[in-house]
Structure 1
Amino acid sequence: MATLGAVVQRQQLRAELKKARNKSRLTQLQVAERMDWSPSKLIRIEAGQVGISTNDLRALLREYGITDPEQTEFFLSLARASRKMPYREYRGLLAKPYMDLLSYEVSASIVRTFEPLLIPGLLQTEEYSRAVSLTFAPDIAGDRLDRLIEIRQQRQEILENDERPEFFFIIDEAAIHRWVGGPRVMRGQLERLKEMATRPGISIQVVPFGIGAHAGLQGPFVLLEFDGEIDHILYLEKYTGESVFSDDPEATAVHLERFWELERLAPREDLPRLVDHAIEGLGERVDSTPQEEVGLMA
């Protein structure tokens, strides 16, 4: 598996610091008073919302009774790695949850994605991604739009890596029948979907219309699984923005069970037939000037 990303390192540091404080039998308020911090500073550090300097970390470890050089270096290495954020050159262009997702993806051992309305971002063609982007953010154009599409294509390089997570994608049939960008763009997207489904380590399934209503219709989500201290992290995506992460065991367990249920409803062997049917539905129409329909959705 690839080296742990910065966001994952921060989450692991958060978990280890909280564990060390509990072991020292100190409350957050007691620690904050001893460190001469506001309680909110320690709360944000333990929540993984902010980083911590090496000087502050050394002092904090002493309060917890951790003086062993190897243990200290373990914590310091996590803190240093947590500050090495990917796609730094795009900061200010990308929303923080999306940047965090990029870091989580390269660090995961398994990535499970469900999408009821759109083709997942990792599987999108450049033309499809541009059409989606213009729909969600019609005010974005020119160089800024080109850079957003560049990020999408750069993100997809993970699918070509020898060391990569296993990817499981489930899509509702509605996503393959919605003409995003027009017939020509959609044909290219569907052909890409079929090709990607043949690659090792990538599973793509489609929940057919005949299933009727199902739990996945509550919305898209990404569930990332990790080796080590962090087990699962859930990414709940909102088309209107405000996407959020959660490592709450109950929430991740519910969505893992939901994903397994969706897998049962979407036999892998049905994908070529369902995609070919969607392609047939496009007919012979080829729109030479497809609608310019971004937000970068997962």
Structure 2
Amino acid sequence: MTSDSPNPRRQGPADPNDTAGGPTVSRILLGTQLRRLREASGISREAAGAHIRASHAKISRLELGRVGFKERDIEDLLTLYGVTDAGEREGLLGLVTQANVRGWWSQDSDLLPAWFEMYLRLEQEARVIRTYQVQFVPGLLQSPEYAREVILAGHRTEPEHEIDRRVQLRIDRQKMLSEPGAPQFWAVIDEAALSRPFGSPAIMRGQVEHLLEMSLMPNVSIQVLPFRLGSHAAAGGPFTILRFAQPDLPDVVYLEQLNSAVYLEKRTDVEQYLAVIETVSVQAETPVRSRTLLRNLLKQF
């Protein structure tokens, strides 16, 4: 991705034959290698794009691992960058097949904007996911009934079968938390998200009960940020930080907007959000006290 890695220890070239991860890791590692080769050759993105009959923006997306790869394009770029060693070319081209493996959500890709599909790819590879949410319960922690109400809020004109598909997609996404090698998921939820009703009192009660159940999982930590705190470090809005096991991959901050998303990976940007999540985690109730608060909320529903 960028050379300005958010973790100083994450340096050095990636080994194209060491891809202990899924297709997104392969994409990012291959993109990183392509960037290094291009820069070492003194070739601009514009020149590289022209060589494969594309724009400099496509080269940028390739180097960030945010698009699929065509083997012909990679072969042409390797030739342009002076990579003639058969073994090196074979190793890099081998990543193309791995990088183009389709995600589990591919059958429902028509429901997903490209900017969110990229997040799903990153989420699948993350070893640690830390999030702060103020409007809704995080998607990975939503009960099916609550998820339906949240989805309906933004898709009321869609037919019921499309809503059903969206709900099932969200539930399928949650399976990652209980699978072998599941990531550590750490959520700080503003009390506002728990007090804002989506659906009937029974649906809200079911959602709180679901949070209590999820909080028992060894890889899930849930903290509630109470109203009584007043101002707090995360007042700027919701965000998610993704950290990966591979040392060559920088942390990524995900900021979702109404119809787009921003991905931050520069060290200075990521460190600001890391400082915020650390601070707000101290300001929020502990996981144990958060469970008590959740049990008290049940009485309101």
Regarding TM over 0.5, the answer is yes
Partner Cα distance (1:58, 1:132) in 2: 45
CA distance 1:44–1:152, change in 2 (3 Å): closer
Task: Identify the match of residue 230 of structure 1 among 249, 252, 269.
Answer: 249
Partner Cα distance (2:197, 2:48) in 1: 56
Partner Cα distance (1:186, 1:36) in 2: 53
Report the TM-score when normalising by structure 2: 0.86
Partner secondary structure for residue 197 of structure 2: coil
Q: Is the 8 A contact 1:110 1:225 kept in 2?
A: yes
1:98 CA drift (Å): 2.1
Q: Is the 8 A contact 1:9 1:81 kept in 2?
A: yes
CA distance 1:32–1:134, change in 2 (3 Å): closer
Code of the aligned partner of 2:215 = A
Partner Cα distance (1:205, 1:127) in 2: 22
CA distance 1:32–1:154, change in 2 (3 Å): closer
Residue 116 (1) aligns with residue 140 (2): no
Partner Cα distance (2:137, 2:180) in 1: 24
Q: Is the 8 A contact 1:116 1:217 kept in 2?
A: no
Partner Cα distance (1:36, 1:177) in 2: 53
Partner secondary structure for residue 91 of structure 1: helix
Q: Return 5+ residue gaps in structure 1 as ranges.
A: 283-298
CA distance 1:219–1:110, change in 2 (3 Å): same
Q: Is the 8 A contact 2:144 2:171 kept in 1?
A: yes
1:66 CA drift (Å): 2.0
Any idea what the Cα deviations from partners look like across 1:154-199, whole Å, max 9, x if unmatched?
Answer: 1111111021111111101111222211210000110110111111
Displaced runs of 4 or more, over 6 A:
none
Q: Return 5+ residue gaps in structure 2 as ranges.
A: 1-18
| Corresponding residue for residue 239 of structure 2 | 221
| Corresponding residue for residue 74 of structure 1 | 91
Matched residue count: 280
Moved more, 3-12 or 85-94: 3-12
Task: Identify the match of residue 273 of structure 1 among 277, 281, 292.
Answer: 292
Residue 64 (1) aligns with residue 81 (2): yes
CA distance 1:128–1:13, change in 2 (3 Å): same
Q: Is the 8 A contact 2:69 2:100 kept in 1?
A: no
Partner Cα distance (2:20, 2:153) in 1: 35
| Corresponding residue for residue 185 of structure 2 | 167
Partner Cα distance (1:223, 1:247) in 2: 10
Residue 206 (1) aligns with residue 224 (2): yes
Partner secondary structure for residue 299 of structure 2: helix
Task: Identify the match of residue 43 of structure 2 among 20, 26, 36.
Answer: 26
Partner Cα distance (2:275, 2:174) in 1: 27
Q: Is the 8 A contact 1:7 1:85 kept in 2?
A: no
Code of the aligned partner of 1:73 = E
| Corresponding residue for residue 143 of structure 1 | 161
1:148 CA drift (Å): 0.5
Moved more, 209-218 or 149-158: 209-218
Q: CA RMSD in A?
A: 2.0
Q: Is the 8 A contact 2:139 2:170 kept in 1?
A: yes
CA distance 1:218–1:69, change in 2 (3 Å): same
Q: Is the 8 A contact 2:69 2:99 kept in 1?
A: no
Q: Is the 8 A contact 2:177 2:219 kept in 1?
A: no
Code of the aligned partner of 1:235 = Y
State the identity as a percent: 31
| Corresponding residue for residue 128 of structure 1 | 146
| Corresponding residue for residue 154 of structure 1 | 172
Q: Is the 8 A contact 1:5 1:85 kept in 2?
A: no
